[in-house]
Amino acid sequence: MKRQCPICRKPTDSETDADFPFCSERCRLLDLGNWASEKYRISEPVIDESVPETPERDEDAHKP
């Protein structure tokens, strides 16, 4: 699979680059540093905390 490195935009290939999707260890570590310093953020919560979690029940399993 051919893509561009998300850090420097250099072409990368999953079959030849050991650090894919990055072009090098340097770009891979820069990306890790961006996550560690909170430069990247998830814009919306993965779980909607306003909806209470209730376990799904199989109605047939509870019938006598």
Residue 48 forms part of a structural domain: no
Helix, coil or strand: residue 3: strand
Helix, coil or strand: residue 11: strand
Given a cut of 70, whether residue 36 has pLDDT beyond it is yes
What number is the average pLDDT over the span 2-31? 94
Residue 47 forms part of a structural domain: no
Which CATH number characterizes residue 18's domain? Answer: 3.30.50.10
Structural domain range at position 11:
1-40
Q: How many CB atoms lie within 10 A of CB 21?
A: 17
Task: Please give the pLDDT value at position 50.
Answer: 75
pTM > 0.85: yes or no: no
Residue 4 forms part of a structural domain: yes
Residue 55 forms part of a structural domain: no
